[in-house]
């Protein structure tokens, strides 16, 4: 027996991220869960406003149509919307056991201002040191100095 479920959820963006002169107050996403017998797979669909060609509403419409056809026993082709095709393909890969073996998914701390705070976090990390730096929030010269400092 096949089961497909679609979830829509929203998380607030604390910093109010600005993308292409548009402030994002929330991040809206869809999840799809596919189940066949005892196996299941999950996928995420999250078109980014201002970057993705499709809207979340368009993605949801395509996803719901695909999920219904799949649940009814068909093997529908992936939708043409990139975010939807990606999310469904991830769910299918997990469902059919086609995902690669688990990897090392360490969290990379974010440098959100003071590099000294990041250095303290990196000092406690075992193994290779990795970090994320958001650029574009400050002047380009400052961003460049922070990145160069972290690369040393």
Q: List pLDDT tens digits, range 83-110.
A: 999 999 999 999 999 988 877 777 777 7
Q: What is the rounded CA–CA span in Å between residue 114 and residue 95?
A: 43
Q: Is the dihedral of CA 79, 80, 83, 86 positive or negative?
A: positive
Judgement on whether residues 86 and 116 belong to the same structural domain of the protein: no
Judgement on whether residues 91 and 121 belong to the same structural domain of the protein: no
Confidence at residue 16, expressed as pLDDT on a 0 to 100 scale: 64
Give tens-digit pLDDT for 12-55.
Answer: 887 667 777 778 788 899 999 999 999 999 999 999 888 899 99
The number of distinct structural domains making up the chain is 2
Question: How would you classify the pairing of strands 110-111 and 39-45?
Answer: unpaired
Judgement on whether residues 23 and 67 belong to the same structural domain of the protein: yes
Taking the model in full, what pTM does it have? 0.68
100, part of any domain: no
Residue tagged 């596919």 (tokens): 34
104, part of any domain: no
Confidence at residue 107, expressed as pLDDT on a 0 to 100 scale: 75
Give tens-digit pLDDT for 110-144.
Answer: 777 677 787 888 888 887 878 787 777 677 787 78
Residue range of the domain that includes 142: 110-151
79, part of any domain: yes
Q: What is the rounded CA–CA span in Å between residue 15 and residue 23?
A: 10
Averaged pLDDT for residues 145-152: 77
């Amino acid at each position: 027996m096949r089961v497909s479920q679609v979830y829509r959820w929203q998380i607030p963006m604390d910093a109010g991220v600005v993308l292409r002169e548009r402030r994002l107050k929330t991040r809206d996403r869809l999840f799809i869960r596919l189940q066949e017998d005892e196996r299941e797979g999950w996928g995420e669909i999250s078109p980014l406003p201002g970057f993705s060609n499709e809207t979340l509403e368009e993605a949801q419409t395509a996803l719901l149509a695909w999920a219904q056809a799949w649940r009814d026993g068909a093997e529908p082709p992936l939708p043409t919307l990139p975010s939807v095709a990606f999310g469904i393909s991830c769910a299918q890969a997990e469902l059919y056991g086609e995902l690669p073996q688990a990897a090392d998914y360490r969290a990379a701390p974010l440098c959100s201002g003071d590099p000294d705070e990041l250095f303290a976090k990196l000092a406690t990390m075992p193994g290779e040191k990795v970090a994320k730096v958001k650029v574009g929030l400050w002047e380009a010269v400052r961003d460049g100095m922070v990145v160069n400092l972290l690369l040393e």
